[in-house]
Amino acid sequence: MSYTAPLKDMLFNIRHLADIDAVARLPGFEDAGFDTAQAVLEEAAKFNEGVLAPLNWEGDRNPSSFKDGEVTTTPGFKQAFRQFAEGGWQGLQHPVEFGGQGLPKTIGAACIEMCNSANMSFALCPLLSDGAIEALLTAGSDELKAVYLEKLVSGQWTGTMNLTEPQAGSDLAMVRSRAEPQADGRYKVFGTKIFITYGEHDMAENIVHLVLARVVGAPEGVKGISLFVVPKFLVNSDGSLGARNDVHCVSIEHKLGIKASPTAVLQYGDQGGATGFLVGQENRGLEYMFIMMNAARYAVGVQGIALAERAYQKAVQFAKDRVQSRPVDGSIAASAPIIHHPDVRRMLMTMRAYSEGCRAMATVAAAAYDASHHHTDAEVRRQNQAFYEFLVPLIKGYSTEMSLEVASLGVQVHGGMGFIEETGAAQYLRDAKILAIYEGTTAIQANDLVGRKTARDGGQTARAIAQQVAAAEADLRAQGGDHALAVAQRLQAAREAFLDAVDFVVAGSRTCPNAVYAGSVPYLMLAGNLVAGWQMGRALLAAESCLAKGEDAAFMQAKIVTARFYADHLLSKAPGLRNSIVEGADSVTALALEAF
Amino acid sequence: MSYTAPLKDMLFNIRHLADIDAVARLPGFEDAGFDTAQAVLEEAAKFNEGVLAPLNWEGDRNPSSFKDGEVTTTPGFKQAFRQFAEGGWQGLQHPVEFGGQGLPKTIGAACIEMCNSANMSFALCPLLSDGAIEALLTAGSDELKAVYLEKLVSGQWTGTMNLTEPQAGSDLAMVRSRAEPQADGRYKVFGTKIFITYGEHDMAENIVHLVLARVVGAPEGVKGISLFVVPKFLVNSDGSLGARNDVHCVSIEHKLGIKASPTAVLQYGDQGGATGFLVGQENRGLEYMFIMMNAARYAVGVQGIALAERAYQKAVQFAKDRVQSRPVDGSIAASAPIIHHPDVRRMLMTMRAYSEGCRAMATVAAAAYDASHHHTDAEVRRQNQAFYEFLVPLIKGYSTEMSLEVASLGVQVHGGMGFIEETGAAQYLRDAKILAIYEGTTAIQANDLVGRKTARDGGQTARAIAQQVAAAEADLRAQGGDHALAVAQRLQAAREAFLDAVDFVVAGSRTCPNAVYAGSVPYLMLAGNLVAGWQMGRALLAAESCLAKGEDAAFMQAKIVTARFYADHLLSKAPGLRNSIVEGADSVTALALEAF
């Protein structure tokens, strides 16, 4: 059950698809060129392969446990988190002024993928800390920053996001937790939060909860929600830990997967009120939370890629080892390793193509994020921002749905052994299912894609992306050869399908919202498929160019046929999705409610 | 977590798609008309809803356990199995002369679906007994039949299938268990069998193992495999139980799902040899085993339908109860039950359309099975046999793959709650994954479909089915109206895609087997999709006709829009699959082995 970081693929993407040289020309990232990327990734691979990966299975067998208000994490996790913190991994992308390393997301995202491949349950803790850091950086007062940021960035403390309540899941308008202003400017926070990842644990000295609640008298709905910092332990003026705050874990969930990651029910204010500190202004909590959410959504998409990669590696290993039946082509006259069977190849190639396609998409998005924050030209920043924001729901929605399919194929490659828990393949399937749910279900991502990302600008960003795809098709045709031409053809069909869907979404989002939202998830899957397939097309071109220069022929040839597979077997789904979206809306909502 | 048998849908299929009146004209089935079907199904519903369904969740929480060679099943299972046996449910489809009820499969299949919806882990025990009965009926000597059949049919004893060994899963040529002939005509059996469902349990007095083993000196490969009866307890000449046989359970597996169903490792012959009785002739074991397998494969397909139905019902209930967010069309000015959200509808309709489509396919196949065994005209028998055999891999392969997708959607409808085990939706996902694996993985079904069912007769059966689909298209066009015309159009596209794939398979199965088998699973999915969609088209026509007669308007209208949904959202995948199969073969096997 070992894991080997796909460094070659990551560095190929960083160099050829994300153009790390351009990232390193951005102010603040002067030292973040290819060599830095390589050095950081190699170091990350060592840590994740050596320290975190071996604990993944143990976390599933021996999950976090709850007793008397306290959570004990899987043996080894506490020590591993210390190593993680000491290695500086929590601060990778965070500002130098708070102790971080200030690296671009283009590099950081690859490290986060490795961490999640190695141990997704573990990686959730730093993932949530990242969100808390992001929110404080954007909206926190200087005082809050001074008290909390350095310790969060160093990994001495960890962070959480507290949104969900029993009656308020996707629907944050229904948040009922309340905050009462105090004379000293602080607030007393009351309420019950559920599904709080690492809401209680023993891996760090303090836990910094970021909590959505309504200030007494605030407007109803999402416009009356504020964001508060509620630390587990209050912090003295010298930075030392003070009194225990009135937030307590009352239970943790018994879940299908990510079992090592404690999912807490937190009770605020049962003993007079938890002391909270307002982040930014009252009633702007949702806006700030979206900062955390968008960072987290990208990261969850990366979790999908990470899980798919790990499941793929495990399936490949099994397929090479397991001897069963003769190959149909008679090439071996005895029972052979099952990797010689075409359907096993099809499954492995599907897993591989999905992982590589989504990784390419995420890497390119990361570079756009870096440019959107650091480029000197406002128009370039704006364009990159629009591109990045369009991609976030695709990365979250498409990469997580694909990870479920990939993990399921991983079990399938193992046959009956896959169904036995000790084999380890089933854990990835169980773990994967949460990815399409938390930080906004696939439907919530699809709503975002339809409403904010497509309809709001009249389809402008979507069509600009299609134009870039068309340019890649032209490049592929110019390149020539079977593979490039086949990829160009599938890309064209997928792009045309996408454009039809964009027209449908833009035309109908106000006038016939039921019809548009009936196809919202298929639209997301079509868009994600196209963008990942486009990046695979670009990867093919880059690989051809490297081949011509004599670079790493084995890797480049593999990239080319993987791109071809992506086009033939995954992009080929696009026209069918177009038909579902554009022509199939009526039948989604036609059944009478009573008939269900 | 209750279950309500979909009696209306089952009886609609039995009457209008499977033509129960025609079944009742077959010799031996004179009493098995619609009224009988209705009476039997209603009785089955009562038993399964009332007795088995409430034990399903308990079986997951409190699985079968192993200690000192013995297996204790979930509390309640033993008593429930007594009730099952006393109700005569084990003997439903078995011959009257051995105490069965001799009902047609057309009726029996619906009962088996209910049993599996109610409690799949439980239902596996009678499913395996059915296989053992079938094998003994076909190949057993009169003596073996006399000793074993009545008690298996009554449910006093249960049966198992022992194929798999650690090195022999899909590849039965590698079976190593051996049988030594004794002077008295019996055999001593030695070996280790794994993955034996209900290989040991406490629900019946005796367990009748049907075991594949090699007689000493037999040829290598599958031509040297014989089939033996090895009872847990030897049977005295008066039918009473005698000595404990030398077959022992050494452990049971810790599995992803179907946890109540004990999956045993059985050790044969550690104390001198297990006494075995040859079934039929030496070296014909695989042939007999295929009789059991084909019955079991059909039944596993029905398990997929059953699980999908249960997952659907649970998701519908949650979607009606859970209040979250306003509908996008503004039809309700407050947070509403999530069934009002288009994407939730899309998920529920997908679950429903898959379940209904596969149920229709399985019901029609059951009627063909009945005709293939009971029709007086040999040519009609032959045609029905060919049709049935073509459908078995579709029912097994397509219905089980769809059940996994449906169960996953079921979790998704529940959002975060779906990931919590106590909600119960996750159990269906965990349970579903085995269905695409046991009794031959989807790839094994696809090999069967490509090799034995399509290439062997030069595509004749496949094309005959396509002709029947074309006739349904013509009927739909003659019917007219938006729904019928849309279904006809999608059916045509799917049929044309299928025919292209058939041509590809027939042309290449010998000359380029790698290319054909690279697309074998997509071909199976395409064929299953088409046949299920075709039956939904026929169902639409029948529903229109019933509507015109004023029968049950609500049900008929629901059937019509569900058929339309099937066409728009599921059949629409067919052309993409065609492209993968016909144009995508090369990229499946192009990657160098070392590049994985």
The first and second tokens of residue B189, run together, are: 């059996």
Tell if the CB–CB gap between A579 and B568 is shorter than 8 Å. yes
Nearest to A575 among B254, B576, B595 (CB): B576
Tell if the CB–CB gap between A591 and B558 is shorter than 8 Å. yes
Helix or strand holding residue A190 (H, E): strand A187-197
Q: Are A125 and A73 in contact (CB under 8 A)?
A: no
CA separation for the pair A321, A314 (Å, rounded): 11
Tell if the CB–CB gap between A568 and B584 is shorter than 8 Å. yes
* Number of residues that make up chain A: 596
Handedness of CA A422, A425, A429, A434 (dihedral sign): positive
Which residues on A lie below 8 Å from B554 (Cβ)? 592, 594-595
Which residues on A lie below 8 Å from B404 (Cβ)? 408
The first and second tokens of residue A421, run together, are: 């828990």
CB pairs under 8 A between A and B: 272
Nearest to A580 among B253, B443, B572 (CB): B572
The first and second tokens of residue A293, run together, are: 């959410």
Q: Decide if A221 touches B, using CB distance below 8 A.
A: no
Tell if the CB–CB gap between B590 and A419 is shorter than 8 Å. no
Nearest to B517 among A256, A342, A443 (CB): A342
From residue B454, alpha-carbon distances to B139, B391, B481, B531 in Å are 27, 11, 35, 15
Which of A165, A309, A401, A439 does the annotation list as catalytic?
A439
Nearest to A590 among B441, B517, B561 (CB): B561
Which residues on B lie below 8 Å from A434 (Cβ)? 419
Nearest to B416 among A164, A586, A596 (CB): A164
Q: Decide if A163 touches B, using CB distance below 8 A.
A: no
Closest Cα in chain B, distance from residue A142 (Å): 35
- Enumerate residues 350 to 389 of chain A having a beta carbon within 8 A of any beta carbon in chain B: 352
* Tally of CB atoms within 10 A around A232: 24
What residue of A is the nearest CA neighbor of B431? A419
Closest Cα in chain B, distance from residue A582 (Å): 10
CA separation for the pair A263, A434 (Å, rounded): 12
Tell if the CB–CB gap between A590 and B324 is shorter than 8 Å. no
The residues, ordered by sequence, that sit 6+ positions from A102 with a Cβ below 8 Å of its Cβ are: A28, A93, A94, A95, A96
Nearest to B437 among A415, A583, A590 (CB): A415
How much is the pLDDT for A1?
59
Q: Decide if A254 touches B, using CB distance below 8 A.
A: yes
* Tally of CB atoms within 10 A around A244: 12
Which residues on A lie below 8 Å from B574 (Cβ)? 576
CA-based angle B105:B111:B117, to the nearest 5? 130
The residues, ordered by sequence, that sit 6+ positions from B364 with a Cβ below 8 Å of its Cβ are: B13, B17, B18, B391, B535
State the 10-residue block means of pLDDT for chain A, 596 residues long: 93 98 97 97 98 98 97 98 98 97 98 98 97 95 98 98 94 96 98 98 98 97 96 97 98 98 98 98 94 90 98 98 95 95 98 98 98 98 97 98 98 98 98 97 98 97 98 98 98 98 96 97 98 98 98 98 98 97 97 96
Which DSSP state fits A74?
Answer: P
All structural domains of chain A, each given as residue ranges with its CATH number in brackets, are: 7-66+73-152 (1.10.540.10), 157-283 (2.40.110.20), 449-583 (no CATH)
CA separation for the pair A218, A227 (Å, rounded): 13
Tell if the CB–CB gap between B323 and A584 is shorter than 8 Å. no
Q: Are A340 and A79 in contact (CB under 8 A)?
A: no
Interface probe for B, chosen from A346, A438, A565 (most Cβ of B below 10 Å), is A346
State the 10-residue block means of pLDDT for chain B, 596 residues long: 93 98 97 97 98 98 97 98 98 97 98 98 97 95 98 98 94 96 98 98 98 97 96 97 98 98 98 98 94 90 98 98 95 95 98 98 98 98 97 98 98 98 98 97 98 97 98 98 98 98 96 97 98 98 98 98 98 97 97 96
What residue of A is the nearest CA neighbor of B563? A587
Q: Decide if A345 touches B, using CB distance below 8 A.
A: yes
Picking from B395, B401, B166, the residue whose alpha carbon sits closest to that of residue A420 is: B166
From residue B333, alpha-carbon distances to A224, A420, B327, B336, B340 in Å are 18, 49, 8, 8, 12
The first and second tokens of residue B2, run together, are: 């209750």
How much is the pLDDT for B107?
98
Q: Which residues of B are catalytic?
A: 439
Which residues on A lie below 8 Å from B521 (Cβ)? 343, 346
Tell if the CB–CB gap between A587 and B572 is shorter than 8 Å. no
Residue-by-residue DSSP string for A404-438: HHHHHHHHHHTGGGGGBGGGSHHHHHHHHGGGGTT
Interface probe for A, chosen from B265, B569, B581 (most Cβ of A below 10 Å), is B569
Tell if the CB–CB gap between A415 and B316 is shorter than 8 Å. no
CA-based angle B158:B162:B165, to the nearest 5? 150
- Enumerate residues 441 to 460 of chain B having a beta carbon within 8 A of any beta carbon in chain A: 441-443, 446-447
- Enumerate residues 492 to 551 of chain A having a beta carbon within 8 A of any beta carbon in chain B: 513-514, 517-522
Tell if the CB–CB gap between A441 and B415 is shorter than 8 Å. yes
